[in-house]
Amino acid sequence: MHTPISRSDRMKSIPWALALIFCLLTDSAVAEGACPPGYFQTNRGAPGPVGCAPIPEQAAPIRYTLRWGAVAGDGEGNWGMSDSRRLRVLAEREALKQCRERSPKKCHLVQVYGDQCVAIASDGITASVPARITREAATEAALKDCASYAEDRECRITYSACSKL
């Protein structure tokens, strides 16, 4: 004799039936355990020996500049400088302001740098204003660049600074 299944018993079996259907319809997961760290499996799901390849390089993380500096000049040897400002625009404004206070001529930005160092090397006529990672590298680059066009004139460092916290 057949006993009818109650409505509450049928409701209890629905989650189990759905779970069984879900398991049958979905593809099985494949772990990455066969390859060393930094590699991925190239023949996933295929029969045969495991093939591993390096994971392609990802883009470098975005790096935010923490401190800014700037150098402005009028082309006549008058300079305005700023360093260790939180915002680029503040560094630019400060350098231009200082230059305008020292010169009646039009000042313009010569170098803007973030989390770096700057040096000014001059032979009395022209100047070089490179930015580099360290003060020593900036000084060396400024002297080298200045010497390349100074002819017989001697180049010397007139300013150097680093933007820092």
Give the whole-angstrom CA distance, residue 142 versus residue 157.
Answer: 8
Give the whole-angstrom CA distance, residue 47 versus residue 93.
Answer: 66
Backbone torsions φ then ψ of 150, nearest 5 degrees: -80, -10
pLDDT score, position 35: 79
Is 49 contained in some domain? Answer: no
Return the structure tokens found at 163: 């933007």
Range of the domain at 86: 68-162
pLDDT score, position 5: 63
Q: What is the mean pLDDT of each run of 10 residues along the chain (165 residues)?
A: 62 68 63 70 74 78 84 95 96 97 96 96 94 97 94 94 86
pLDDT score, position 54: 82
Is 10 contained in some domain? Answer: no
Q: What is the largest CA-CA distance in the chain?
A: 117
User: First vs last Cα of the chain: how many Å apart?
Assistant: 86
Is 32 contained in some domain? Answer: no
How much is the pTM? 0.61
Total domains present in the chain: 1
